[in-house]
Homo-oligomer: A and B are copies of this chain.
Amino acid sequence: MSAAFEGVRVLDFTINLAGPSASAILADLGADVIKIERPITGDDARAFGPFVGGESITSLWLSRGKRSVEIDLADPEGRALIQKLLPTATVVIESFRPGVMKKHGLDYESVKAVKPDIIYCSVSANGQTGPYAPKPGYDLQAQGMSGLLDMTGEPDGPPQRSGTVLGDYVGGLNAWGAIATALYHHAKTGQGQHLDISLYEGLVMLNSMVDYVDLDLKPTRTGNHHPNAAPYGIFNGHGGQSAIICAPSDRLWNKLCDAMQKPQLKTDARFNNAPARMDNLPGVIDAIEGFLKHYDDIDVPIKILEDAGIPCCKSVSSHQVLEDAHLVARGSVVQLEGTAEMKENGVQGIRMRGPWVKYSQTPAVMRASGGLGQHNREILNEAGLSDDQADALEAKWHAKK
């Protein structure tokens, strides 16, 4: 067994989160990802806190399995180096604003002239074409423009942002899917192509409600409860604790009433069928929250419901997620080896999110992250430079401010 993308070389010009999350997946799948970084400072993500042993945790996850090389794209010697690496690459991935790669002579057409079958993936806020292409765009804008924000939050309050960088990560998943699709096409036909991924459009895809465009319905946020199913939502327990309970069918509702020791609700006309429960949602919520608040520790009623076969759980704190026995059992938590800098600082490794897709034949490989410039000499050697030439280039770029 070997990883699926062994033998695939990726020249990775991406920075921040979306692009690097895509190339990290390619690395998990065995690709040789060469992360090309600005000398001295590197990818902006290297400055994102918190830090462990001198390295950014975010950057460690994004750089896993990659080889890092510092190359100054503004220097003709840097560009010449890229020209030597390009013919060895199957994939180029970049995440600059449209136009920046062209300035470096590295847009799709230029790269294609050197490597005709290149798979060239551009990840950007709004895409390479259309009126918003030149606009800067942050993750939160993609959330807002996609309508997802308008769907999230309480009906009488403002829209609520997602606690994670949804647009970036979904953009990364789309870039992976598109590159894998293009690799398949390449394997079949020998053809490369240009892939154009936008964070904005990736989030539009997640919002089913946009398809109501020609209906009279104008859906908006409904808070912590489902717009068409009950009970299905987040319920308040004692002292600010919460429980997620999903029992929208009559069968589950009946089980829930028994588990709460409120069997009389099963035959109550306000609740004994799905439309009635929607009409009397406040009553449904009161019944459930009354039950939950009876217990100081929300784990107790959740256990009661779980034992009764009701789909339910706690809202888990982020720092506890990777302690979960199920994730550990499935190899979804890994110990990543530390970089040279971390080890110097006495940190041998770090526990992190492992591979989340399981392949029976081509299992993912989680390899250590490359510290900034860790593979400078190795990669410059591969590009045909002697050790002395490689060291001289590094010294030149490190001397600059």
Binding site for B on A (CB under 8 A): 4-5, 25, 29, 49-50, 52, 57-58, 61, 108, 126-132, 135-138, 140-141, 143-154, 158-166, 169-170, 173-174, 176-178, 180-185, 187-188, 191-198, 200-202, 204-215, 217-224, 226, 228, 232-234, 236, 240, 242, 244, 246, 311-327, 329-330, 332, 350-353, 356-362
Contact call A144/B224, Cβ cutoff below 8 A:
no
B356 lies within 8 A of A208 (CB): no
5 contacts between A and B (CB under 8 A): A147-B316, A152-B160, A170-B206, A196-B358, A213-B319
For the complex, give the distance between the alpha carbons of A232 and B318 in Å: 22
By the criterion CB–CB under 8 Å, are B131 and A150 in contact? no
Identify the interface centre among A174, A236, A317: most chain B CB within 10 Å of its CB.
A317
Partner of A196, one of B141, B144, B201, B357: B357
Q: How far is the CA of A208 from the CA of B295 in the complex (A)?
A: 32
Count of identical protomers in the assembly: 2
Closest chain-B Cβ to A191's Cβ sits at a distance in Å of 6
Are the CB atoms of B130 and A209 closer together than 8 Å? no
| Contact (Cβ within 8 A) A162 B173 | no
B163 and A148 within 8 A (CB): yes
**Contact status of A246 and B141, CB under 8 A, knowing A193-B362, A233-B161:** yes
Contact A314 B144 (CB under 8 A): yes
Taking each of A152, A214, A326, which has the highest tally of chain B beta carbons within 10 Å of its own beta carbon?
Answer: A326
Known: A180-B177, A318-B210, A356-B202. A4 touches B158 (CB 8 A): no
Does B184 lie within 8 Å of A180, measured CB to CB?
A: yes
CB-based contact B145/A321 at 8 Å: yes
Residue of B nearest to A48 (CB): B228
Known: A208-B165, A234-B158, A330-B129. A141 touches B177 (CB 8 A): no
| Contact (Cβ within 8 A) B140 A232 | yes
B321 contacts A207, C-beta separation under 8 Å: yes
User: Which of B150, B213, B236 sits near A158, CB closer than 8 Å?
Assistant: B236
| The residue from B145, B161, B183, B312 contacting A324, defined by CB atoms under 8 A apart | B145
Q: What residues of chain B lie closer than 8 Å to A151, measured between beta carbons?
A: 162-164, 318
**Does B138 lie within 8 Å of A232, measured CB to CB?**
yes
Please report the C-alpha to C-alpha distance between residue A141 and residue B315 in the assembled complex, in whole angstroms: 8
Shortest Cβ-Cβ A-B pairs, 5 listed: A151-B163, A193-B361, A180-B180, A147-B318, A209-B318
Residues A150 and B326 in contact, CB atoms below 8 Å apart: no
Complex alpha-carbon distance, A218 and B318, angstroms: 7
Q: Is the CB of A317 within 8 A of B150?
A: yes
CB <8 Å contact, A351 and B213: yes
Contact of A318 among B5, B212, B351, B352 (CB under 8 A): B212
* Chain B residues, Cβ within 8 Å of A29: 181
Determine the residue in chain B with the shortest Cβ distance to A151: B163
A360 to B206, CA, bound (A): 23
Whether the pair A351, B214 counts as a contact (CB closer than 8 A) is yes
CB pair B321 A144 closer than 8 Å: no
Are A195's CB and B360's CB within 8 A? Answer: yes
Q: Which of B108, B150, B182, B214 contacts A359 (CB 8 A)?
A: B182
Instruction: Please give, as numbers and ranges, the residues of chain B lying within 8 Å of A220 by CB-CB distance.
Output: 317-318
Contacts of A212 in B (CB 8 A): 50, 57, 318-319
Nearest chain-B residue to A212 (Cβ)? B319
